[in-house]
């Protein structure tokens, strides 16, 4: 016997989602708190008295009293159970009618394919085919296997790092070298909670200014930290600017003396020292300029990352870096430390975020340094509720999305 409810408690929702193979942060009850500009409800289906499916539904209010339902990375259920799938979607449509919903958008974390970047292919696994047939039989309309990261609300291609034995030892050689370079430059890593929000927001703002994009502000980051408590972590990379100036000055003086003492016939070594001295002078000039700009401030945040653990998963949600310290490569140390923390605390994988489906963008190239697996998901489906207005509302949605991208 199947029973539907739209009065599921937060606790019931989270307990079920965290234990399910399709566990995802975006189906947590707290994600509804983060998306406070949407209404929401927690729905579920009980099978013979036991919870068998859940869906945290975000409800967007539209003009003229209409709404749009969005179920990010859900519903959470066994899609191979066709009777359960059909019942859940039928009941969600009934709920949608009560709320004057035009259509329901879903994007379950069902994998179409999974591969290493260098092994990319266009295969579709059997489970994906089965789920697509099941959803279509329920009237859901597939929005296609899009490749553009902006074509869907959640990225269809996701770079995941899965927990393996000796994770750090198996990283590419150049990644480990860049981490060592950061240590040589006295980069320090600090992990914490809400007390680091202000500094994190400041370094994210630097990324926004550099890339001319809008991410999130301090208030939003604080909301995340409050919602997820000890499972939300901020990791900052810091350097002591005064120490940088002093150590660089000392290195410059030592190397200058070595150069002056070098016999004229050691041409190769003289040339190498000249290059190193030129680099040190440039570094000293940059660090001295930064030290003057920060007016005596000793420690500076040069990069940061905010991540949230949910069940056996870790979502690396936001990151930022001060471009002046790009050569320090702090993000490599940050990401590895964050992943190690996640794996030590029971996570099966860390989501580094979305990438373009062509796998040739800058994000993919950066994330390739951490041996990720590309999870290619099934994509979005629309479930029309008001069939007469669905086409018009879908076109309006796509037009609005296109305009936002251009802006």
Average pLDDT of 320-337? Answer: 92
Overall pTM > 0.75: yes
Contact status, residue 105 vs residue 75, Cβ threshold 8 Å: no
Confidence of residue 403 (pLDDT cuts 50, 70, 90): low
In a domain, 21, yes or no: yes
Residue pLDDT, tens place only, 95-134: 999 999 999 999 999 999 999 999 999 999 999 999 999 9
Q: What integer pLDDT is reported at residue 267 of this predicted model?
A: 80
For residues 86-116, b (16+ Cβ closer than 10 Å) or e, as one string?
bbbbebbbebbeebebbbbbbbbbbbbbeee
Q: Does the structure show a pLDDT above 90 at 337?
A: yes
How far is it, in rounded angstroms, from Cα 126 to Cα 372? 23
Q: How many domains does the chain have?
A: 3
Confidence of residue 407 (pLDDT cuts 50, 70, 90): very low
Q: Report DSSP state, residue 296.
A: T
Verify that 281 and 308 share a domain, yes or no.
no
Helix, strand and coil percent figures for the chain, each rounded to 5: 50, 25, 25
Contact status, residue 349 vs residue 314, Cβ threshold 8 Å: yes
Share of the chain above pLDDT 70, in %: 96
Q: What is each CA distance from 341 to 64, 97, 159, 167, in whole angstroms?
A: 48, 45, 18, 12
Q: What integer pLDDT is reported at residue 404 of this predicted model?
A: 56
What crossing angle do the helices spanning 126-137 and 82-98 adopt, rounded to 10°? 40
CA angle, corner 240, sides to 236 and 245, nearest 5? Answer: 145
Q: What integer pLDDT is reported at residue 212 of this predicted model?
A: 63
Q: What integer pLDDT is reported at residue 275 of this predicted model?
A: 86
Residue pLDDT, tens place only, 249-265: 888 888 888 888 888 88
Verify that 195 and 314 share a domain, yes or no.
yes
Verify that 204 and 263 share a domain, yes or no.
no
Can you give the CATH number for the domain in which 339 is found? 3.40.630.30
The residue segments making up the domain with residue 331 are 160-239+299-375
Verify that 205 and 251 share a domain, yes or no.
no
Q: Of the residues 293, 318, 335, which one is the last residue of a structural domain?
A: 293
Confidence of residue 406 (pLDDT cuts 50, 70, 90): very low
Q: What integer pLDDT is reported at residue 354 of this predicted model?
A: 95
Residue pLDDT, tens place only, 198-246: 999 999 998 776 666 667 899 999 999 999 999 999 999 999 888 888 8
Verify that 7 and 72 share a domain, yes or no.
yes
In a domain, 124, yes or no: no
Residue pLDDT, tens place only, 120-169: 999 999 999 999 999 999 999 999 999 999 999 999 999 999 999 889 99
Verify that 211 and 340 share a domain, yes or no.
yes
Residue pLDDT, tens place only, 176-201: 999 998 888 889 999 999 999 999 99
In a domain, 130, yes or no: no
In a domain, 61, yes or no: yes
**Weakest-pLDDT range from 15-24, 68-77, 109-118, 176-185:** 176-185
Verify that 184 and 50 share a domain, yes or no.
no
Q: Does the structure show a pLDDT above 90 at 284?
A: no
The residue with greater pLDDT, 399 or 35, is: 35
Peptide bond into 378 cis (omega under 30): no
In a domain, 154, yes or no: no
Verify that 46 and 77 share a domain, yes or no.
yes
Verify that 82 and 172 share a domain, yes or no.
no
């Amino acid at each position: 016997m199947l029973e539907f409810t739209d009065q599921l408690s937060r606790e019931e929702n989270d307990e079920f989602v965290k234990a399910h193979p399709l566990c995802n942060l975006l189906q947590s009850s707290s994600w509804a708190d983060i998306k406070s500009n949407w209404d929401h409800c927690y729905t579920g289906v009980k099978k013979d008295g036991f919870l068998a499916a859940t869906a945290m539904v975000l409800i967007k209010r539209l003009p003229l009293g209409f709404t749009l339902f969005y179920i990010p990375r859900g519903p959470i259920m066994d899609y191979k159970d066709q009777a359960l799938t059909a019942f859940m979607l039928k009941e969600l449509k009934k709920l949608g009618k009560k709320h004057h919903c035009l259509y329901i958008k879903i994007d379950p974390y069902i994998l179409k394919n999974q591969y290493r970047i260098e092994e990319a292919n266009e295969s579709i696994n059997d489970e994906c085919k089965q789920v697509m047939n099941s959803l279509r039989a329920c009237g859901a309309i597939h929005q296609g296997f899009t490749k553009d990261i902006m074509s869907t609300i959640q990225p269809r291609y996701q770079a995941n790092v899965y927990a393996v034995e000796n994770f750090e030892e198996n990283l590419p050689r150049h990644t480990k070298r860049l981490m060592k370079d950061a240590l040589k430059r006295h980069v320090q890593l600090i992990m914490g909670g809400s007390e680091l929000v202000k500094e994190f927001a400041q370094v994210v703002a630097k990324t926004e200014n550099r890339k001319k994009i809008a991410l999130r502000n301090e208030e939003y980051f604080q909301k995340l930290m409050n919602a997820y408590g000890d499972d939300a972590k901020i990791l900052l990379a810091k350097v002591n600017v005064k120490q940088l100036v002093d150590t660089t000055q000392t290195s410059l003086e030592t190397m200058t003396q070595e150069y002056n003492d070098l016999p004229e016939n050691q041409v190769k070594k003289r040339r190498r020292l000249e290059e190193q001295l030129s680099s040190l002078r440039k570094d000293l000039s940059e660090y001295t300029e930064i030290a003057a700009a920060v007016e005596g401030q000793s420690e500076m945040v040069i990069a940061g990352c905010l991540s949230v653990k949910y069940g056996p998963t870790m979502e690396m949600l936001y990151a930022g870096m001060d471009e002046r310290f790009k050569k320090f490569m702090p993000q490599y140390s940050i990401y590895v430390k964050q992943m190690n923390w996640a794996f030590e605390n029971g996570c099966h994988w860390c989501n580094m975020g979305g990438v373009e489906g062509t796998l040739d963008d800058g994000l993919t190239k950066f994330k390739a340094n951490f041996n990720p697996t590309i999870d290619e998901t099934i994509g979005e489906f629309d479930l029309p509720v008001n069939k007469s207005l669905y086409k018009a509302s879908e076109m309006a949605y796509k037009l609005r999305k296109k305009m936002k991208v251009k802006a």
